[in-house]
Structure 1
């Protein structure tokens, strides 16, 4: 959006328009979903002026009113479902990972959380006919877990039918039996994964804002951003805010970070996949004492919560713990060299 278009909003002059655009508020819709305090700090304006700007943007973007359930149902038809390429898990999740939602995957170390993020960074690029969303991926790496070699393994581990359809979809010539063709295909997959390493929680929050800008830049491109992975969401927050005295501040920052991610999903029809660490609950005498980090803030904000549990050898139990429209249940997958596979 050009500066002069923003200047049609009440209280927005050339200087304020420049500040808003520099801060990533490049559309009526992005301003409409902002809070007055957020906009006030960004543009250095009064809170009452910020409220007027937001209300005018809501009118211009035609959002914020009531809708019928039928209208919402029609809009939900635009939501994409990203397949795990594992029938049992896809059935458990009602077709796969949804766009415009936060999907949280938690489990102890070695349960396969990072394997899921790598596999989804591959799967999201597949053609829709093959269970993908034909989009690119943003990967915010907080624990130095991203490995391009793993993407190589997983691309090569896709079924032959999917590989051939992907080659055709991308207009690439050659055979999947040809090493040169496969190297080119792997390189093409890696080119569409935008990776940034977060060094602390503040940097992680900043990267979420940068991810929103990147998603906006690619919105009308051939490869829009259809997935944002954060692996792991809570590692830095857990390390930097220790003890009950800092719990409130940690939860406030985590809450803001989650809503920044949720905004990307809502604005750009993107799926948000986050991994989460766990802790043992010493008060639990029966059942599994494993509890996800993040408390009620994360529990309420995540649309889907998935618990990964180790089983024998490479087998993993995928348990759907919470979802607004699906029953709890479990599925089984295997973590192999070629990626996530059915049992």
Structure 2
């Protein structure tokens, strides 16, 4: 009797899976319905996600034998036609890449015309420099229509510091003449309590993206828990490996779903610097190499802030000034 009850419960769980996702995976040679369900539940809902997975990942996460996993991955790779392209083709692809506005004209110019999709943007600075304010505003501007500079999409906010405020989202929505209630419903929020919690949440992101048309993921702040959980030089290697895992997962969803990952980061003072700015971001080379764009925010006079583009694969260094007001972040 208990076995029948367990089977019914399992069937009910599978009923929650979108049949179109199952049908898509059934196109892969060697994938039956039971394996398709396993893959979807393990957050491999597309042919592309399976093609870019490793045998070990499918074996561990989806409980699929190594030989079967190897065949499935190989067949998925054949289906998506993995091949080289020339730089001209890549240029054409990048020219079609979508961007959305920050709501600040000078800030948009600094980063090449707006927030780029398929990228990770890291913003670091001392407290009260506007990192979280920018993150809040992007959750609003990404929802604007494409004609107004948005992507007509939704956002995920992963709050590691407990600083997310829906009231702020509401006020910013009113500034851009959007329906505050609708804007709030289009921000998927999760409070993150430790680095393991963040890791689990990142595993669940693909399903949330497909359900809610997500084009922006905010992690505020990426180093908060790693900084407090891994103390001393003896734990540095483990901390950096975990950070690298986070960044690899975020890069993958950014590219697979053509969205933007926006990371805020904390800073520390380098006691060895006698001249110049001793402030530097946490995370070392792993963080530096993992970010597509790096912005350093610092305080100016009054409510003004200075954003400096520190690193970009295609843009020169530069600065932009913006203001933080009750309406949001605005042109200074």
Q: Tell me if both proteins adopt one fold, taking TM over 0.5 as the criterion.
A: yes
Q: Give the conservation status (yes or no) of the 8 Å contact 2:172–2:328.
A: yes
Distance in 1, matches of 2:136 and 2:27, equals: 44
**Which residue number in structure 2 is paired with residue 41 of structure 1?**
60
The yes-or-no answer on 1:227 pairing with 2:216 is yes
- Secondary structure of residue in 2 paired with 1:335: strand
Q: 1:250 aligns with which of 212, 216, 239?
A: 239
Cα pair distance change 1:2/1:311, threshold 3 Å: closer
Q: 1:193 aligns with which of 187, 194, 205?
A: 187
**Which residue number in structure 2 is paired with residue 19 of structure 1?**
38
Q: 1:95 aligns with which of 113, 125, 129?
A: 113
The yes-or-no answer on 1:85 pairing with 2:103 is yes
**Which residue number in structure 2 is paired with residue 123 of structure 1?**
141
Q: Give the conservation status (yes or no) of the 8 Å contact 2:100–2:116.
A: yes
The yes-or-no answer on 1:292 pairing with 2:311 is no
Distance in 1, matches of 2:322 and 2:254, equals: 27
User: Could you tell me the TM-score, scaled by structure 2's length?
Assistant: 0.89
- Secondary structure of residue in 1 paired with 2:219: strand
1:45 is displaced (CA, Å) by 3.7
1:305 is displaced (CA, Å) by 0.4
- Secondary structure of residue in 2 paired with 1:89: helix
The yes-or-no answer on 1:52 pairing with 2:71 is yes
Q: Which ranges of structure 1 fall in alignment gaps of 5 or more residues?
A: 167-184, 219-223
Distance in 2, matches of 1:296 and 1:190, equals: 36
Q: 1:323 aligns with which of 312, 316, 332?
A: 312
1:316 is displaced (CA, Å) by 0.6
The yes-or-no answer on 1:336 pairing with 2:325 is yes
- Secondary structure of residue in 1 paired with 2:216: strand
- Secondary structure of residue in 1 paired with 2:254: helix
1:3 is displaced (CA, Å) by 4.2
Distance in 2, matches of 1:126 and 1:274, equals: 21
User: Could you tell me the TM-score, scaled by structure 1's length?
Assistant: 0.86
The yes-or-no answer on 1:310 pairing with 2:310 is no
Q: Which ranges of structure 2 fall in alignment gaps of 5 or more residues?
A: 1-19
Distance in 2, matches of 1:331 and 1:5, equals: 46
- Secondary structure of residue in 2 paired with 1:242: coil
The yes-or-no answer on 1:149 pairing with 2:149 is no
**Which residue number in structure 2 is paired with residue 74 of structure 1?**
92
**Which residue number in structure 1 is paired with residue 196 of structure 2?**
202
1:74 is displaced (CA, Å) by 2.2
**Which residue number in structure 2 is paired with residue 172 of structure 1?**
none
What CA RMSD, in Å, does the superposition of the two structures yield over aligned residues? Answer: 1.7
Deviation per CA, 1:149-203, whole angstroms, max 9, x where unpaired? Answer: 1112212233xxxx2xx5xxxxxxxxxxxxxxxxxx1111111111010111111
Deviation per CA, 1:19-57, whole angstroms, max 9, x where unpaired? Answer: 212111111111112222212211334545433322221
Distance in 2, matches of 1:338 and 1:13, equals: 53
**Which residue number in structure 1 is paired with residue 4 of structure 2?**
none
Distance in 1, matches of 2:109 and 2:308, equals: 12
Q: Give the conservation status (yes or no) of the 8 Å contact 2:28–2:72.
A: yes
- Secondary structure of residue in 1 paired with 2:112: coil
Distance in 2, matches of 1:149 and 1:5, equals: 40
Cα pair distance change 1:122/1:286, threshold 3 Å: same
- Secondary structure of residue in 2 paired with 1:296: helix
Cα pair distance change 1:341/1:3, threshold 3 Å: closer
Cα pair distance change 1:13/1:133, threshold 3 Å: closer
| Deviates further, 301-310 or 68-77 | 68-77
Cα pair distance change 1:5/1:131, threshold 3 Å: closer
Distance in 1, matches of 2:230 and 2:158, equals: 20
Count of paired positions: 313
